[in-house]
C-alpha cells in the first residue's frame, strides 16, 4: 500500500479518537496563563500516542517529538482560549465538548484545540508507520497566544534556541493552505491640554476635544491606507479601541487624553511607519507639532503557569510566502496526494504564532487547520470531525512530501 493510502486509512481509523481527544481538551478550561491542566492532559495524550519525547518548555508549552532526522519541522497549536463572554448567548455549556452530528462543540474547538487534536493523531500515525525520514517532526502545544500571539515562539527561539527549518500553524483554515497574514501592533497616543474650571472652558485647552479630533484623524488614516503590491494580504487598518480622558475634577476642562489603537500591518508596513503616520495625522488634526503628541508601542508581560515572567513589545510582524516556495508547493503536493484535487491557497484575516516564527525569525511557514476562522471567539463555537480527520492525514503526509523536494 502506498504511503498516502496508509495515512488516509489510519486517519479514518482514528477519526473518533481524534474527536474524543478534542472533546477532552474542550472540557478542560485553559484561559491564557492558566493552561496547566490542559498542558498536562496533552502531555499524557502524546505519551499514550507513542511520541519519542514529550516535555514542557520554560513557559509551559508542550513540545512533542517524533523521529530524529537532520531537518526540523514544527506543527503548532496554541491551547489557550479566550473567555466565554455572555453565557446567555451559548446554546450549550461552553465546556461541554459534546460530539454530535459530526461536530465537536465548545470553546476552543476551532480556536485552536482542533489543530492540537489532529496533531496528536498525526504523531501517532507517523509512529505506527515507523517514520524515520529526513525530518525530526515536532508538535508544539503553545501557551498564552490569545494574550500575545507569537510570544510563546519568541521564547522557544530566543531563550531555548529551538528554531525549526519549517513551521506549520494549525489555526483554522477550513482545510485550506494559507501562506500569510497581516501583522499587527498596538499603539498608544497621549495628548495634553490645559485645565481650567468647568464654568469657564474658554480659559483652558480641552484634551477631550483634541482626542475627538485625533480619533477622527485615525478614521481618515484608515481610509488612506493602501494594500500590498500584489494585493494578496490587502490593506492595513487602524482602529481606535479605547479613549481615556482625565482632568483635575469632573468640574474641569480635561488636560490629559489617551487613545489606544489596534493597527493591522500589510506587507511593507512596519512599526516605525505606523507610529509616524499616527503622529502626522493627529498633529494635523489638532493643529499642533508632531513633537507635542507622545506615540509609542506598549509592552506586554505576564507570568505563565510555570511561574516564569516573560514579555515583549506589542508588535507582531507581517509575513507571506511566495506561491512557489518549497513549503507551499510541498503542502499542495501533500494535499493532492491524499485527496486527488488541488487545495485552495489563501491567507488568514487574523494573526497567528507565525508572527514570531516567520514575521520575526523568517522560518518558512504555511497554515492548515480544521474549522473556520469565523468560529474564533464566537459563541456556540464548533469544529467538524471531518476536518479533524483531513488535518490528521495532512500533517502526517507533509514530511514525506517535503522530503521529495529537498
- Annotate 48-63 with DSSP letters as a single string: HTT-SEEEE-TTS-EE
Q: Provide the 10 A C-beta neighbour count for residue 10.
A: 20
**Number of residues that this document lists for the chain:** 406
Handedness of CA 21, 23, 27, 32 (dihedral sign): positive
User: At residue 26, does pLDDT exceed 90?
Assistant: yes
pLDDT, one tens digit per residue, over 95-123 is: 999 999 999 999 999 999 999 999 999 99
Distances (CA, A) of 144 to 55, 77, 212: 17, 11, 34
Please report the pLDDT score of residue 151 as a whole number: 97
For residue 287, what pLDDT is reported?
Answer: 97
| Per-residue pLDDT band at 195 (split at 50, 70, 90) | very high
Active site residues: 80, 145
State yes or no: pLDDT of 1 exceeds 90.
Answer: no
What per-residue confidence (pLDDT) applies to 291? 95
> pLDDT category, 168, cuts 50, 70, 90?
very high
Average pLDDT over residues 64-73: 98
Q: What is the pTM of this model?
A: 0.94
Q: Which domains occur in the chain, in start order? A: 3-181+318-405 (3.40.630.10), 183-300 (3.30.70.360)
pLDDT of residue 241: 97
126, 179, 372, 387, 401 from 336: Cα distances, Å:
19, 17, 21, 16, 10
User: Is 376 in contact with 110 (CB distance < 8 Å)?
Assistant: yes
Residue 252 has pLDDT above 90, yes or no: yes
175-203: average pLDDT: 97
Q: What is the pLDDT of residues 283-332, one digit of tens each?
A: 999 999 999 999 999 999 989 999 999 999 999 999 999 999 999 999 99
| Residue 406: pLDDT over 90 | no
Amino acid at each position: 500500500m502506498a504511503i498516502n493510502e496508509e495515512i488516509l486509512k489510519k486517519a479514518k481509523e482514528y477519526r473518533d479518537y481524534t474527536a474524543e481527544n478534542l472533546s477532552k481538551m474542550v472540557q478542560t478550561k485553559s484561559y491564557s496563563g492558566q493552561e496547566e491542566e490542559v498542558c498536562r492532559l496533552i502531555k499524557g495524550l502524546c505519551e499514550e500516542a507513542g511520541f519519542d519525547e514529550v516535555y514542557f518548555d520554560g513557559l509551559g508549552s508542550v513540545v512533542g517529538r517524533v523521529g530524529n532526522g537532520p531537518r526540523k519541522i514544527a506543527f503548532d497549536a496554541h491551547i489557550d482560549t479566550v473567555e466565554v463572554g455572555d453565557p446567555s448567548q451559548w446554546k450549550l455549556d461552553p465546556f461541554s465538548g459534546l460530539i454530535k452530528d459530526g461536530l465537536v462543540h465548545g470553546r476552543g474547538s476551532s480556536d485552536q484545540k482542533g489543530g492540537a487534536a489532529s496533531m496528536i493523531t498525526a504523531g501517532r500515525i507517523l509512529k505506527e508507520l515507523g517514520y524515520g525520514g529526513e525530518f525530526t517532526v515536532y508538535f508544539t502545544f503553545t501557551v498564552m497566544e490569545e494574550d500575545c500571539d507569537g510570544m510563546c515562539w519568541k521564547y522557544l527561539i530566543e531563550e531555548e534556541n529551538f528554531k525549526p527549518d519549517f513551521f506549520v500553524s494549525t489555526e483554522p483554515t477550513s482545510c485550506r493552505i494559507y501562506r500569510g497574514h497581516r501583522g499587527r501592533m498596538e499603539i498608544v497616543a497621549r495628548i495634553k491640554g490645559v485645565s481650567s474650571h468647568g464654568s469657564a472652558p474658554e480659559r483652558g485647552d480641552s484634551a477631550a476635544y483634541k482626542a475627538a479630533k485625533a480619533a477622527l484623524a485615525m478614521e481618515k488614516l484608515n481610509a488612506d491606507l493602501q494594500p500590498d503590491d500584489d494585493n494578496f494580504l490587502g490593506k492595513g487598518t487602524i482602529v481606535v479601541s479605547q479613549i481615556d480622558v482625565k482632568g483635575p475634577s469632573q468640574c474641569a476642562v480635561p488636560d490629559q487624553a489617551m487613545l489606544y489603537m489596534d493597527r493591522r500591518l500589510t506587507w511593507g508596513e512596519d512599526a516605525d511607519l505606523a507610529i509616524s503616520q499616527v503622529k502626522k495625522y493627529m498633529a494635523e488634526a489638532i493643529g499642533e507639532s508632531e513633537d507635542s503628541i507622545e506615540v509609542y508601542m506598549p509592552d506586554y508581560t505576564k507570568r505563565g503557569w510555570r511561574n516564569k515572567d516573560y514579555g515583549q513589545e506589542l508588535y507582531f510582524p507581517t509575513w507571506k510566502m511566495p506561491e512557489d516556495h518549497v513549503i507551499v508547493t510541498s503542502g499542495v503536493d501533500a494535499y493532492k496526494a491524499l485527496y486527488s484535487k488541488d487545495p485552495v491557497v489563501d491567507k488568514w484575516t487574523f494573526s497567528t504564532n507565525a508572527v514570531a516564527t516567520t514575521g520575526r525569525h523568517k522560518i518558512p511557514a504555511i497554515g492548515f487547520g480544521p474549522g473556520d476562522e469565523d468560529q474564533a471567539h464566537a459563541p456556540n463555537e464548533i469544529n467538524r470531525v471531518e476536518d479533524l480527520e483531513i488535518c490528521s492525514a495532512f500533517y502526517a503526509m507533509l514530511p514525506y512530501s517535503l522530503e521529495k523536494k529537498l
